[in-house]
Amino acid sequence: MFDILINGFTDPHLFGLPFGKYFLALILLLLIGWMLSWLLKLARLYTLAFLTPKGRVTRIVSHVDGDTIRVVPEKGHTKNTESIRLIGIDTPESRKSLYMDIAPFGKEASEYTKMRLPKGQRVILIYDQAKQDKFGRTLAYLYLPKGEFFNASLLRDGYAWTAQYPPNVKYAAYFEKLQVKAQAKAKPIWKIYEKKGVLTKEFKKSADYRKFAHYYKEKK
């Protein structure tokens, strides 16, 4: 590899091309540009997390639902864990509560989040305008250490719907575009829902829905 790099700038016919050394230089410049862009993105995230009130770095402690996790609380926080509700997205419920019933695809969405955000995973939380909801949960955009925007991943991979609640609408337009693309590609959640909370007629007639209805009736 090093021989190629060294010879690339002395052999004008590298790879059989008359301008081989220029081709190699272009590839190297593109790689360097990509790496610098990636590093700058990470630097921005960590700067926001460490040096401003807009966010912080923490670790996953447990999972509540597809769109809600628990993390190590901020320094000085009295609770053992802190509930984080992901901004701009909503997943079907996987647990019955005072406010919501279990919904089809809730378990699948929850399992996706558990798989992607295992316990102990370091994550970056970035806040928007409102930091907490009426239930006392912290509202945040979640990024993985390499820069992946997890809120967006849930939409892109078809495990969530958009759910915009002002004033936290910084990425509303971007999230809507991701949802439209996921729906057009019939990503997982769109195989059984025609829109948020509304099951398709085909799914309601399926054996999977009958199985879910029976399971839910037992859970009641």
For 40, the 3-state DSSP assignment is helix
Residue 204 φ/ψ, nearest 5 degrees? -65, -25
Q: Would you state the pLDDT for residue 13?
A: 53
pLDDT at 19 over 70: no
Q: What is the pLDDT of residues 28-75, one digit of tens each?
A: 888 888 888 878 877 877 887 777 788 899 999 999 999 999 999 987
Of 44, 93, 116, 202, the catalytic one is 93
At 2, is the pLDDT very low, low, confident or very high (cuts 50, 70, 90)? very low
Q: What is the pLDDT of residues 109-150, one digit of tens each?
A: 999 999 999 999 999 999 999 999 999 999 999 999 888 999
What is the average pLDDT value for the chain, to the nearest integer?
86
At 104, is the pLDDT very low, low, confident or very high (cuts 50, 70, 90)? very high
148 is an active site residue: no
* Residue 195 DSSP symbol: E
Of 95, 111, 116, 137, the catalytic one is 137
Of 85, 156, 210, 218, the catalytic one is 85
* pLDDT, average across residues 190-218: 90
85 is an active site residue: yes
Per-position b or e across 62-100, b if 16+ CB within 10 A of its CB: ebbbbbbbbbbbeeeeeeeebbbbbbbbbbbbbeeeeee
| Side-chain half-sphere exposure of 190, counting CA atoms within 13 A | 17
Residue 60 φ/ψ, nearest 5 degrees? -70, 135
pTM of the entire predicted model: 0.78
At 3, is the pLDDT very low, low, confident or very high (cuts 50, 70, 90)? low
For 37, the 3-state DSSP assignment is helix
